[in-house]
Amino acid sequence: MRKKVIAGNWKMNKLASECGEFISRIIKDIDTDEKDVIICPTFLSISSAVNATAGTSVGIGAQNMHYEEKGAYTGEVSAEMIKEAGCKYVIIGHSERRKYYAETDDSISLKIKKAYETGLIPIMCIGESLEERESGETFNVLENQLVNALKPIETDENLIVAYEPVWAIGTGKTATDEQAQEACCFVRNTLKEIVGEKSDKIRILYGGSVNEKNIKALMAMPDIDGALVGGASLKDEFIKLVNYDK
């Protein structure tokens, strides 16, 4: 049985001064017994998030990292720095990073490799655009993103893959349960070709306009092991998302 994961991606939201108060308020109502709960704030809020979750099983993740250890990379943050700050996870290759910051499968591959070497668990994001879905390219896109990033490196079960159709992110348009299941099942079969039997243990999340109304049905799908939540993770609604099975 794969343990479920509910991860909140705060993107560029919340000041560090708001972060501790928000987490302290929601954390007492969150049920972490049978699942991994992860919060990914901005770099500047990591330390207050780590403090606010101390002594709980809620894990903190960063939203990006550089693949080099250190050096002349103005504005960047290394895996080691994230780890030292108290993170256990790091989101890699989010579609917003692919779109606005020219992230490629190659840089994503290097980042996943570095995250592993540093002892961070990568949350690798993949997903097709609306155009790609409408032209029947979804599976090709997903396969290329997975193969290009994971084939060149050693991958094990300590990987989380988030399937996030770009057209569903922040749009209020969730993929149907069947669309999400179909894609996540395809992701699992593709992972099997890349990493073999270990793929059975890799957790695959769905992301894209997940909310308190649609989460339960998504989580009931056999190949969906959790959710990567943007907008709804910024509000008290996150409690209901984490406790979807209560």
As annotated, the active-site residues are 94, 164
**Phi and psi (nearest 5°) for 32?**
-110, 15
Do the Cβ atoms of 165 and 183 come closer than 8 Å?
yes
C-beta of 123 vs 150, nearer to ligand PGA: 123
Interface with ligand PGA includes 124 (CB under 6 A)? no
Interface with ligand PGA includes 231 (CB under 6 A)? yes
Residues 154-173 interacting with ligand PGA (rule: CB under 6 A): 164, 169-170
Q: Which residue is nearest to ligand PGA (CB)?
A: 230
Based on the number of CB atoms within 10 Å of its own CB, is 80 exposed (0-12), middle (13-18) or buried (19 or more)? middle
Under DSSP, is residue 244 helix (H, G, I), strand (E, B) or coil? coil
The enclosing H or E element of 107 equals: helix 105-118
Beta bridge partners of residue 203, listed in sequence order: 160
C-beta of 187 vs 195, nearer to ligand PGA: 187
Interface with ligand PGA includes 123 (CB under 6 A)? no
Q: Which stretch binds ligand PGA (CB under 6 A): 68-76, 97-105, 207-215, 238-246?
A: 207-215
Interface with ligand PGA includes 112 (CB under 6 A)? no
DSSP state, 78? B
Interface with ligand PGA includes 49 (CB under 6 A)? no
Residue 154 neighbours by CB distance under 10 Å: 10
Q: Which residues bind ligand PGA (CB under 6 A)?
A: 9, 164, 169-170, 207-210, 228-232
